Amino acid sequence: MNFHVLTLFPEMIMQGLHTSILGRAVQKECISIEAVNIRDYTTDKHGKVDDYTYGGGAGMLMQAQPVYDACQTVLKTIADKRAAQESTEKPVRVIYVTPQGRTFHQEMAKELAKEEELIFLCGHYEGIDERVLEEVVTDYVSIGDYVLTGGELAAMVMIDAIARLVPGVLHNNESAQTETFHDHLLEYPQYSRPEVWRDKRVPQILLSGNHAKVDEWRLLQSIERTKKLRPDLYEKWEQQQAASHCP
Ligand code: ADE
């Protein structure tokens, strides 16, 4: 899967996403992450990419032209690559990361992980000229109801969550199957050595070697934890359980 990030701060994306598990996945060529500097596409001779807003008001706005040209260049590169491979003409999703978008969640990560190419557009200052958004954006997505100084951190959060679902990115023992949000349940508590730490013992059942009992205990812990910490998710789980037991 190939991620393309349109940004004024490419070094943020490259430094943030080429380490740890994603860095390893890039080396293995399971994914690629490219940061495209929007400033490289401005036709302004001073390299300017922002200007005052019509109608007045504080702050500067990113201008349409460099954003449009950067995006079209990436789209053209993808189209040429696909033509050479004689592969699909599937439209490429262009995600504008903005606090005005739909809130990102695990199901959205799963859906986006099925794409072969994704373009993220990161805004700065007061945002981006509406006309170019109308031209290129297919999805408006937020990572939560708070405002960041720019879209880069939000794009990085989404890319991390999507990339780890791409086959081959996680090792088997890091599997995305039994974890938090799977089936609307939070993950059960986990323990490692030593068996006793500050007078706290690892639950006896986990030392029993009885895998069926361990699984049963973990499911119960997941249910209890979800009920206590995320009653909203617990409600969804209960509904799902009721539906799956209907004749
Ligand atoms: N840009 C600024 N704040 C943001 C947020 N909460 N989500 C996505 N993009 C943003």
Q: Is the C-beta atom of 158 inside 6 A of ligand 1?
A: no
pLDDT at position 180 is 78
d(CA 147, CA 175): 32
pLDDT at position 182 is 77
Q: SS3 for 62?
A: strand
Query: What are the pLDDT digits (tens) for 197-221?
Result: 999 999 999 999 999 999 999 999 9
Cα 97 to averaged position of ligand 1 atoms, centre (Å)? 6
Strands (DSSP E) contained in 57-194 are 60-62, 93-103, 117-122, 139-142
DSSP-derived pairing of the beta strands 200-201 and 196-197: antiparallel
Q: Is the C-beta atom of 144 inside 6 A of ligand 1?
A: yes
Per-domain residue ranges of the chain: 2-163, 179-244
pLDDT at position 178 is 58
d(CA 110, CA 121): 20
pTM over 0.85: yes
Atom of ligand 1 lying closest to residue 123 CA:
1
Q: Which CATH number does 179-244 carry? A: 1.10.1270.20
pLDDT at position 183 is 83
Atom of ligand 1 lying closest to residue 144 CA:
6
pLDDT at position 173 is 62
The single-letter DSSP state of residue 172 is G
Q: Is the C-beta atom of 102 inside 6 A of ligand 1?
A: no
Determine the residue type at 184: H
CA distances to 139, 183, 220, 240 from 187, rounded to whole Å, are 30, 10, 10, 17
Is the distance from CB of 9 to CB of 36 less than 8 angstroms?
no
Cα end-to-end span (Å), the chain? 40
Q: What residues have CB less than 8 Å from 71, skipping those under 6 apart?
A: 6, 94, 119, 121, 132, 136
Q: Is the C-beta atom of 157 inside 6 A of ligand 1?
A: no
Q: Is the C-beta atom of 146 inside 6 A of ligand 1?
A: yes
pLDDT at position 245 is 84
Q: Which CATH number does 2-163 carry? A: 3.40.1280.10
Residues of the chain predicted below pLDDT 50: none
